[in-house]
Amino acid sequence: MLITGVKPVDELLNPVEKHWSIEFYGDSYVLNYLFHRAVSIRSRYGRVYVVVSLEFGGIRTDLIEAFCRIFDCRLSAVSVSRVFRVRELIQVLKSLSDESDATVILLYPYNFLGDDPSTYYEATEISGLINRVSAGNSVLIFNTKTKFGERMPEGGSMHHHVVKVIIRLDRLGRLVKAELVKHPAKPTGLRRLFKVDLLKNAVAPAETVSLLNWVKVG
């Protein structure tokens, strides 16, 4: 399945089933490019629902336009929602659980969790809803490292349990290391190294346009 269009990353991911949840976490620069590539590529295959858990930023219209020229995407199929607190994210995920055969892309879904581990019951609720959404849709998650350590993604043990495939991404100078943390059909620890420049490979120059000209904001 074509997911990011970055060959070393997609080689680590595959084989994947249609209704699996796939997570990328680690370096924010790398995640930013993979996120925009995934939005563009997955729109070729059907509806895409993007949920951004950031107060501002997260979507670069210049990257969306550039990758769409490369991948011949259908931005009329893309809907974007921005949430500002955990309860808003939960409501959006509940509504998406009624969808089927779409791609749901979550950018930093645990961003608004507090720093107190005792409040992590909200993370469990988010993870449960991600699992429900993935029962009928492909789910791509772009996540941060946990606040309580360096190795694992944010979200806790429940999150790690429900996500089918997890890839950690780190920058090593001009290289990116992609490491397979979890996969039902492959051994963990598999790694690929590739140049950072591959993330923006073949991106055509593009003028920045208003996001409203490109996506339906939901």
The answer to whether the Cα torsion of 181, 182, 188, 193 is positive or negative is negative
Question: Radius of gyration (Cα) for the chain, nearest Å?
Answer: 16
**CA pair distance 1, 10, nearest whole angstrom:** 8
Predicted confidence at residue 39, as pLDDT, reads: 95
Instruction: Look at domain 7-217 and name its CATH class.
Output: alpha beta
The answer to whether the Cα torsion of 79, 85, 91, 96 is positive or negative is positive
Question: Exposed, middle or buried, 107 (CB in 10 Å: 0-12/13-18/19+)?
Answer: buried
pLDDT digits (tens, 9 = 90+) for 186-208: 999 999 999 999 998 754 333 33
Computed over every residue of the chain, the mean pLDDT equals 85
What 3-state DSSP class applies to 76? helix
**What pTM was computed for the model?**
0.86
pLDDT digits (tens, 9 = 90+) for 109-146: 988 887 766 667 788 899 999 999 999 999 999 998 66
Q: Based on DSSP, count helices (H) and strands (E) in the chain, helices before strands.
A: 6, 9
